Structure formats: structure tokens, C-alpha cells
A and B are shown apart, each in its own frame.
Chain A
Amino acid sequence: MSGEALLEVRDLSKEFRVGGEGLFARDARRLLAVNDVSFSIEAGEVLALVGESGSGKTTLSRAIAMLEPPTRGSVRFQGQELTGLGRRNLRPVRRRIQLIYQDPYGSLNPRLTVGAIIGEPLAVHGIGSRDERQFRVAQLIQDVGLSPHDLARYPHQFSGGQRQRIAIARALALEPSLIIADEPVSALDVSVRSQVLNLLLDLRRSHGLTYLFVSHDLTVVRHIADRVAVMYLGRIVELAQTNEIFNNPRHPYTRVLLDAVPEVGRGKRRPREKLAGEPPSALEQIPGCAFNPRCWITRAECFHTRPELEPALGDSSHLAACHLRNEGRL
């Protein structure tokens, strides 16, 4: 790997207090939604963050964008530390980090025309004259595969896939360097999903974008990501090149996730033994490795010593938080 990191996250944690309001404040419990997470993204790279619900992937992405200020740790973006920045100092940063969400229905103001929606960030940041903004908006709508004629229409006149294109055009308006895309194709129909994925890949090239791509869908990640970080209960448990994650997983949870993906061509399902239990609540404190209650290859240390995210033997770019990461194929 070469080049310098566009984004560098170090020991990031995000804690929420759960329950215990007012008089009962003493009953409040701490929920560590993101727990000591470290990784970096190079310029031009697509890093996928995968995990199941409650794994902390969305909280992590929001903490990086400073939408949920992190409780501890550091987020450096283009060399600048973002934690502790006030609202005013964050403003220029927000131009360079944009978010795209899952629901293209909820994220677009139904009362604005598409032109106004895409132009809004430009207007808010006071960029260009009215005419210049109009010109830019017309260019953006074509960048995402729609027509300038669509600018006068309203969101409800578009299909889900088209709405997601509009959300992408808006995100591009401020010429960001980093796009955080949280399940951007999960709500779309299958036949439309690949169109939007292809668009994201094309834009990465034409607009020099870097993506943090949050998804629960490993098949989608396979196509779009350069590297994949797998999260479980607030921690990254495996981080490696996409090929390595899919062909040579080193963490048993990654194996479980891959096995669970329903895929055409595998035929009718035979029960799998490796798939036991459900993820425990993040409120539960599990000594040792948090995956141990569901793991089939444990040994003694897994129950008392928490494994750090460390390189696998012979491949320094393949990190896994498993004591048995070097013990052969899973």
C-alpha cells in the first residue's frame, strides 16, 4: 500500500448512556457502541465497513463525520484533527466529507424541486452566483445519469434508484474528497441496485472520490470495496484486502457471515453447525474475546484475554482480532 492516508482513525470510541433519566440517573448504563477502533483510508480507496445490526458500523461512520462526537480517540482528515473542533471550524470540513444514506425517500425534502435540492449545499455555503450555481447543478444532474429536464420536478416523481442518484448529486455538489455511504443501495430493487453501484464506481474515478462504504451486504461489498473491515459488537475484528476477506478469512465471525449469505447456485440450504446463537447485547460485558459464546474454535485464552487487531503471519496487511488467526484455514 502506498500513498498517504486521507482519513486516519485512532482508538476511536463512542459511548452512549442508556436508561436512567433524571432521578434514576444512577441506574444509567454505558453502552460502548464503538470500542477502540483504528484504521485509515487512503485517497481514492473504497473501504467497506460490514457487520450486522448493532455492530456499531453506522455509529462509527457518524462519529467520523462528527455528527456524533466521539467519546475518545482521534479522527484525522487530510492531516487535520477533527475531534474537539467547534461548529465553525467544522464547517469547511463538512464540505469535504459528505454522507449518502440508505433511504432515498426520507433524505430528500419533498417540497423542493430536484434543482433546489442539489443546489442547496452550494447556496448554504455561499458558493458561486445564482447563474453559476444553476450551471453547476445542471452539470451535476448529468454526472449522475439524469437529465437537466429533471431539475424542475419533485422527488416523488422519481423512482427509488433515481432518488438515490439525486442524493448522490447533492453530495457531490461541494466537491467532497470523502463520501460516507451508509447502506446506499440496500433499499433499492435488485435490477436498479447494480446501476447505482456502477455509478458510484464511475464517480470515484471521474471525481477522484474516496468512499467509506457501510453495508450489511457482503455480495455488494465484494464488487465495490478495495478493503473490508468487519465489525462485531463495536470493534473491528478483521481488516484486509477484499480478496483476502472473501477467500481467506482469519476471523471465525467473518466465516460465519460469509456462510450465511444466501446465494443463488448453492441449492437448497442444509443446516450449518457453525451458525449458533445471536449477537449478544452490547450492554453485556464478555470477558476475553467478545465472539467466544458463538465460536467453535475457542481455547482457554479466548475466555480471559481480549485479542487485539493484529497482522496475520506472512501478510502484514491482513489484520484479525483472533488468537487463532494463524492456525490455518477457517
Chain B
Amino acid sequence: MSSIPGSAAAIDGRHPALRVRDLEVSFATEGGILRAADRVSFDLNPGRTLGLVGESGCGKSVTALALLRLVPPPGRIVGGEILFDGVNLAKVKENRLDKVRGRRIAMIFQEPMTALNPVLTVGDQIAEVLRVHFDTAKADAWSAAVDMLARVGIPDAPARAKSYPHQLSGGMRQRAMIAMALICRPDVLIADEPTTALDVTVQAQIIDLMLQLQQDMGTAILFISHDLGVISEIADEVMVMYAGRVIERSPAESLFGAPLHPYTIGLMETLPRLDGRPGRLPAVPGTVPDLRNLPSGCRYSDRCPLADEACRHRDPDLKPAGVGRFVACLKVAP
């Protein structure tokens, strides 16, 4: 199995904050073993954002959860390495992992209500994080929480810190969750569709906020979204997943400027645009594949305009294609 070097590794002479190599996550089901994430490799670098984009069932959320070993059963990590600070998180003992979760690698989700405790004020919850991880004194933790809430743009933070999650708007709740995630100044932030449930104007504000905080704190971000537009506004590098595989990884500019994989090309063409013309849109034929029923060979071969016999027999590996670019397609990188 070929291991792919991290493309944007050691930018500015710094080391990646997190390296993932050949990560494999499987679900044992009645119908057999489903490979939800198959040989996924990437690096997360300080101060940079890797965008992970794909449609339903592509494995993007499973990949995110796997980084902190949070994949719900019957899913489990069956192969590969998650290297963080010299240890392999895929193998390390649970108590060691607890020192990493939330403190050095934090996570935010689509729906803050599921991550926030409804019976605690947001200030208390954020302060609690500091107290658990650093044993901070109560008063200090509270004032740090209030500072953090102000920093994520919550107006009148000292008063709002005393609010319960349901008393905040969706946008304010998402800001509170970001405050909670960043209070320990983690090296890595995993953001799984953090703006998907928000209105477009609020979404834009949250993206601006995340970019600003990243600049200040140097956090490495894995940003997961189904929305190519959102990814293009936040990511430095982009990874596209399809049916459990990474099918393309490129610096954002080159991916959006000239996508390589026929699937990425199809996705970009089918995207409705503000400056588009009225009327029919180019469409990708077929539907997103079911992991229980994958086509043989390349997983995109049944929808691909370029596919031939070879594509239906061989599942292509991710191979280099130009500077910092990788693609899994026999037609582009045989």
C-alpha cells in the first residue's frame, strides 16, 4: 500500500500538527464489512485549513470522528496511523487520549445544541473545560470564559455568559461552541459542517470569525463540508472524498481553478452559480453510491464520462499529479 507524503508538509519550516496515514474505518454490518474510510492520508499544518468535501456517505464525518477515536460502534479503526505529538492516536490508551481530546484537539459540530449542555450556562460550560484540563481556579476560569465569549463576537459577554444555550440564537450558540473548543488553545480544530445549519449571512460571519481566530492562534483546522463554496472560502488545501476514498487532494487554488478528477470536475460544473444563466444546469448522472453496493474497479466508474474497461477493473490509487496535487484516476494519473 503506497503511503502518500503530506503535500503541504512543513510549510514555513514547521512540522505538521497531525499526520494521518492510510487510515481505515470499517463498519461490520449484517450485509458484510463496509469500508467507510479507505486508506485516507493527509497532514494538518499549523495555521492552515484543510477542507474535506464530499457528498453523503463519502466518509468525511467518519474520518473526522476517527481522529479522536469517536467512531460509534459497530464502526472501528482497522488500520492506519494518526500521528500527533509523537504518538499514534489510533493505538494509544484511552486515558492518554483523554489528555488530547478537547485540550489539544478540539471538535465542533453542525448542531451546537447537541454539544452544549442545556442545563448549564454557556459561561459555566466553557469555564468547566479549563477546570478539567488545567485545574484552573473557579474565578479565573469564569473570567477566561467571558473573555473568550467576547473574542468570538458575542456582544455583552459578561451578561451572555450567564445565558443557557436555548436562550441564544443559532449563530450565537455556534460562537459559544467555538469559544468552548478554542478555550484551551488546541493545536488542532476539527470542524464538521459547523455552518451548515446557519443562515447564509450568519454562516459568512462564522467563517470570518474562524479565519480571524486561526490567524491569531495558529490553529490547524480540518474543515468538513458538503458545500464547495464554503470550502473555497476557508480552505488552503482541499481533499475530495467519494464513497470512502480520497479521490483528489490539491491546494485550494489549483483545485478550484483546474480540478483533475472527473468527479470534482462534474461537481464544479453542476454547481448553480450567482452569475449563472437561467435554465438547465449541467448534471452529473446517477446517484451517490451505496457503500454496500459499490461498482467494481473505480468507484466513480458507473457515473464517469471518461470511464473505460480498465476503470471498471482497477480501483486507482491516489497518485501525484503536479505540484502538491494528488488524484486517484487512471485517466489522469495512470
Q: Which residues of A contact B (CB under 8 A)?
A: 52-53, 159-162, 189-195, 197-198, 201-202, 216-220, 222-226, 242, 246, 256-269, 271-272, 275, 278-279
Contact = CB atoms under 8 A, between A and B. Distances in A.
Contacts, number: 153
Contacts of A52: 199-202
B266 interface: yes
A161 B287 CA distance: 8
A219 B276 contact: yes
B274 A222 contact: yes
Given A53-B170, A219-B276, A279-B199, 14 more contacts: A190-B227, A195-B285, A222-B273, A261-B229, A262-B200, A262-B203, A262-B229, A264-B268, A265-B256, A268-B232, A268-B234, A268-B236, A268-B252, A272-B204
Interface in B216-239: 226-230, 232-236
B229 A191 contact: no
Contact of A271 (B208, B284, B303): B208
Interface in B256-312: 256, 266-268, 270-285, 287-288, 303
B29 interface: no
Given A222-B276, A223-B278, A262-B229, A190 B208 contact: no
Contacts of B266: 191
B143 interface: no
Given A262-B232, A268-B234, A194 B200 contact: no
A190 B226 contact: yes
A201 B279 contact: yes
16 contacts: A189-B226, A190-B226, A190-B227, A191-B55, A195-B283, A197-B272, A198-B281, A223-B272, A223-B276, A256-B201, A263-B273, A263-B274, A264-B256, A264-B271, A265-B256, A268-B233
A190 B199 contact: no
A264 B273 CA distance: 9
Query: What is the interface residue range for chain B against chain A?
Result: 35 or more
Q: Say what secondary structure dominates the interface of chain A.
A: helix
Nearest to A222: B276
Nearest to A262: B229
Most buried by A among B202, B204, B253, B266: B204
